[in-house]
Amino acid sequence: MNVKKEIARRRTFGIISHPDAGKTTLTEKLLLFGGAIQEAGAVKSNKIKKGATSDFMEIERQRGISVATSVLAFEYNGTKINILDTPGHKDFAEDTFRTLTAVDSVIVVIDVAKGVEEQTEKLVQVCRMRKIPMIVFVNKLDREGKDAFELLDEIEQKLSLTVTPLSFPIGMGYDFKGIYNIWEKNINLFSGDSRKNIEETIKIQDIQSADLYKLIGEKPAETLREELELVDGVYPSFDQEAYLAAEQQPVFFGSALNNFGVRELLDCFITIAPTPRPKQSEERIVHPDEKEFTGFVFKIHANMDPKHRDRLAFIKIVSGVFERNTPYLHVRNGKKLKFSSPNAFFAEKKEIVDISYPGDIVGLHDTGNFKIGDTLTEGEEIHYKGIPAFSPEHFRYINNADPMKSKQLEKGIDQLMDEGVAQLFTLELNGRKVIGTVGALQYEVIQYRLEHEYGAKCTYEPLSVHKACWVEPKDSKSEEFKEFIRVKQRFMAKDKRGHLVFLADSPFTLQMTQQKYPNVKLHFVSEYK
């Protein structure tokens, strides 16, 4: 077993986009190339269709599908590719943020007509903060859209990226002729015969050559030459170091639906994308090629069957190898645990695996031991950092609607919070419980799941909170801090880990508070150090 070789051939990444930009379609085409699926349509979209925001069957359907598509692994040209699924729906943004802690790079899909959209902006911002290498794929070139240069500008401005096009479209929409691949120096002609799998790729070593004009016509050839000159003059040339350091982002153009420009993307991706990267723990940086196994939980999925309340905890392997039936230390609770049936995920199925390598994801059956962010090791007491909680957008009091079932309610809330469905805050003043979520949809999910999985009933009460701010006192003994706590007593709460949180009821309150107590630092993220 050559662990170094296994690490070197792994690429673990996520595809992020605003809903409808083509993430599912692109994923499917990548799987087709890997031979992991045989036909288009095999990967079910995990998105919640528009207008279905409060449709329960839809939520349940989504939960079912998302287990199957949580990790899609396949082999392509000797490379083991792990795609981690990220829900596009904004109500599940928190899930996506957490998944981004387990990827080594991302592909950002942008719709050529819509350009940079809101959800893309948010997700890219997180990737930028975490210095995750990004490749941009501009999709739907078979449709009329924005001019390529205009779009590249928009990507630079709105996403604060430094782009370098590695391919360039020849025409667009009705006039779309194909793609010039700057990376491979060839032309890929678009036949317009959609969903066709065969591509015609023609090597063009010199774009000045007369062949170009024969291929695409005089005018388009001239335009392409001018555009490529401009690309050359305006954008920096590709620099792999800069890409890996998240300082430069290559851009590809194509049409996922037509399977066009996807192979180019994939071929370049496996060449330049990072192998599993080292990860910072609270104690030290851990490298993938270290001998001893370490990994962390980035996602927990509850079983949909209420009779079997076991859950699946998704572990990203950071270092060493993970072996079946081997005891590992669950660092938070100090227990050694053995796993007899760790799952690996392939395109359409999951399988029990004996051994997994850094970059891989294993799914472990869990009866309530794991929380998001937990670390497993061979014995070393390390804690992986970087699964922060963001301030929720919605806040409501949660009340017990069935006094006979208060234990069940408590347990249910506790476990759902461990899964990361929402955040719980307990008010300092009266111990009332407040649930904070990213989207309104989660309240229904929680209510439904409490009833169906735990036999508990809850009701909600509105609460006007603008943002949850994690409090960092510069000096907790100072008069200023004491006064802040006293004056804002009604708005102080503890999060699930016991950290102090100020629930600001309006942007105005927040601003005034920051002005009045400059030494009390307020953070919108739970891990701010």
* Residues in the annotated binding site for GTP: 17-24, 85-89, 139-142
Separation of alpha carbons 359 and 361, rounded Å = 7
Alpha carbons 502 and 489: distance in angstroms, whole number: 9
392 in Cβ contact with 468 (< 8 Å)? yes
* Smallest gap from residue 117 Cβ to ligand G4P (A): 10
In the bound state with ligand G4P, the residue whose beta carbon lies nearer, of 139 and 415, is: 139
495: phi then psi, degrees, rounded to nearest 5: -85, -175
Q: Which of 7, 16, 21, 67 binds ligand G4P (CB under 6 A)?
A: 21
Question: Which of the ranges 22-30, 67-75, 421-429, 467-475 carries the binding residues for ligand G4P, by CB under 6 A?
Answer: 22-30
Residue 210: Cβ-neighbour burial (10 angstroms; 0-12, 13-18, 19+)? exposed
Q: How far is the CB of 232 from ligand G4P (least distance, A)?
A: 27
- Smallest distance, ligand G4P to C-beta of residue 442, A: 20
Q: Using DSSP, state whether 486 is helix, strand or coil.
A: helix
Q: Distances from the Cα of 433 to the Cαs of 54, 80, 89, 399, 429, in angstroms? A: 24, 45, 26, 8, 11
Distance CA 375, CA 369 (A): 12
Q: Would you give the DSSP letter of residue 115?
A: B
Residue 17 binding ligand G4P, by CB under 6 A: yes
Question: Which residues from 118-147 bind ligand G4P, rule CB under 6 A?
Answer: 139-140, 142-143
What value, to the nearest 5°, has the Cα angle with vertex 314 and ends 7 and 528?
Answer: 90
Residue number with CB closer to ligand G4P (142 or 264): 142
> Which of 261, 274, 255 has the alpha carbon at shortest distance from 183?
261
- Smallest gap, in angstroms, from Cβ of residue 115 to ligand G4P? 14
- The nearer residue to ligand G4P, 45 or 105, going by C-beta atoms, is 45
**Nearest distance, CB of residue 72 and ligand G4P, angstroms:** 13
Nearest Cα residue to 286 out of 380, 170, 213? 380
Q: Which residues pair with 3 in a beta bridge?
A: none
- Which residues sit opposite 461 in a β-bridge? 397
Known binding-site residues equal 17-24, 85-89, 139-142
According to CB under 6 A, which one of 11, 16, 20, 484 is a site residue for ligand G4P? 20
- For ligand G4P, the binding residue among 3, 9, 19, 410 (CB under 6 A) is 19
Distance of CA 144 to the CA centre of its chain: 29
**Given the complex with ligand G4P, which of 64 and 327 has the nearer CB atom?**
64
Q: What residues from 143 to 182 belong to the interface with ligand G4P (CB under 6 A)?
A: 143
Tell me the window of 23-31, 61-69, 286-294, 330-338 that interacts with ligand G4P (CB under 6 A): 23-31
C-beta closer to ligand G4P: residue 18 or 467: 18
Minimum CB separation of residue 66 from ligand G4P in Å reads 12
Query: 461 to each of 151, 347, 375, 397, 442, how far by Cα in Å?
Result: 45, 42, 36, 5, 15
Residues 6 or more apart whose Cβ sits within 8 Å of residue 257: 22, 25, 140, 142, 194, 195
Query: Which x/- pattern over 79-108 shows residues binding ligand G4P (rule: CB under 6 A)?
Result: ---------x--------------------
Q: Which of 10, 11, 47, 277 is in the footprint of ligand G4P by CB under 6 A?
A: 47
Which uninterrupted H or E stretch holds 176? none
80 versus 140: smaller Cβ distance to ligand G4P: 140
Which CB atom, from 260 or from 339, has the smaller least distance to ligand G4P?
A: 260
Binding ligand G4P by CB under 6 A: which of 25, 101, 167, 437? 25
Say how many residues touch ligand G4P, by CB under 6 A.
19
- Maximal C-alpha separation, the chain: 83
- The residue from 6, 12, 16, 24 that contacts ligand G4P (CB under 6 A) is 24
Nearer to ligand G4P, 55 or 247 (CB): 55
CA angle (368 as vertex; 71, 499 as ends), nearest 5: 95
Query: Cβ 455 to ligand G4P, closest distance in Å?
Result: 35
Alpha helices in 13-117 (DSSP H): 23-33, 56-68, 93-99
* Residue found under tokens 């030290």: 284
Nearer to ligand G4P, 112 or 329 (CB): 112
Token readout for 261 is: 């420009």
Q: Does 439 bind ligand G4P (CB under 6 A)?
A: no
Q: Is 45 in the site for ligand G4P (CB under 6 A)?
A: yes
Cβ atoms of residues 422 and 398 within 8 Å: no
Closer residue to ligand G4P in complex, CB, 25/415: 25
Of residues 242 through 271, those in contact with ligand G4P by CB under 6 A are: 255-258
Give 139 or 377: the residue with its C-beta nearer to ligand G4P. 139
Within its chain, how far is the Cα of 464 from the centroid? 29
CA distance 378 to 295: 10
Least Å distance, CB 281 to ligand G4P, is: 33
Least separation in angstroms between residue 141's CB and ligand G4P is 7
Q: Which residues bind ligand G4P (CB under 6 A)?
A: 17, 19-25, 45, 47, 88, 139-140, 142-143, 255-258
